[in-house]
Amino acid sequence: MSEKANYFKIGVFILSAVTITVIAIVVLGGGQWLKPVVHWETYFDESVQGLAVGSPIKYRGVQMGTVEAIDFVGDVYGPELDTTNRLRYGRYVRITGSASHVTPHLSREEQEAAKASTIVAGLRVRLASQGVTGVVYLEADYLDPQQYPALEVPWKPQAAYLPSAPSTVSVLGAALHTIARDLEKADIHTIAGHLDGLVLETTKFVKDTNVQALSSQTGRVLAELERIAQQGRRVMERPELTTIVSDAARTMEGAKTLVMELSQISKQIKIASDRFPDASNRLEKSVRRVDTLLANKSQDIEETIENLRVVSANLRELTDNAKRYPAQVFLGEPPPKVGPAKR
């Protein structure tokens, strides 16, 4: 009976220990074990020395996940690649990682769309080292997508593909390599000879130059400049110059007024020119109306002109008679002369 009681106590103790352990993991882990994670992979065409499984993955200093596997593209996707692509991409280092799922409320389609938009916006991952300790980790951040375009892979990634960018050390090393290669191509001996010649020519010029005479000439030039400056100040202080400046100011003011008046005249001319077509049309209509009136009354006008011609002839005749016989105008025609009666 005592043995059964001991077994029971041992079982209760084990169950209690397991329960406490699970609770401690959940509490101390901050619920990380219950959070969904997303798996992704990226590829590097450079050395990943110092990076290991379990290395942190950080986004702007905040840890978002860890590295799960490090291998070569040729070992994983070799059967999917032809000879050319195997030689080109087989040396790439494939890194697989996991990160805490930050969008659990999105559907799978929405998650794919969000992932594509972040890649287009420039989300990249690259190697980074932590201060002087030299601990290597993966750093995710948004970079210029034009400067760091996504790698076009000829295989189907097993996890979500996150493009990479070269590390700062890699970029610096490439720049130093380019500088060293350019220095190798440069003719150092020829450049050094030219520099030696330039130094010799400069030394000779300094020795041949009379420094004292040059200094004396410089002093004379400065004195002449000072004299010219004093003359300029005296000229500026003369009252005649003040009067000229005042007259010029008044002239400018008058010119400004004239320009304003010319502007008003120009506006009036523009208004008149705008009205001219309408006045011309009205004048043309009036001329046509007069022509029509003259055409309709041409017969009457001709008769009137004829009558005026007759009246003018009669007036001319009357005037001539008045000149020859003035009394006739007042007394009329003289009575006919009475002669002796005929028997």
Burial label, 166 (beta-carbon count in 10 A; 0-12, 13-18, 19+): middle
Identify the burial level of 224 via C-beta atoms within 10 angstroms of its C-beta, where 0-12 means exposed, 13-18 middle and 19 or more buried.
Answer: exposed
In sequence order, the 6+-apart residues with CB closer than 8 A to the CB of 170 are 46, 127
| Distance separating alpha carbons of residues 122 and 164, to the nearest angstrom | 10
Instruction: Provide the pLDDT confidence category of residue 199 given band limits of 50, 70 and 90.
Output: confident
Percent of the chain with pLDDT over 70: 60
Q: Are 76 and 86 in contact (CB under 8 A)?
A: no
Q: Looking at per-residue confidence, does 173 or 95 come out higher?
A: 95
Domain regions of the chain by residue span: 34-176
- Give the lowest-confidence range in 254-258, 277-281, 335-339: 335-339
Q: Evaluate whether 66 touches 55 at the Cβ level (below 8 Å).
A: yes
Is the model more confident about 214 or about 32? 214
Q: How confident is the model at residue 286 (pLDDT cuts 50, 70, 90)?
A: low
Q: How many CB atoms lie within 10 A of CB 135?
A: 14
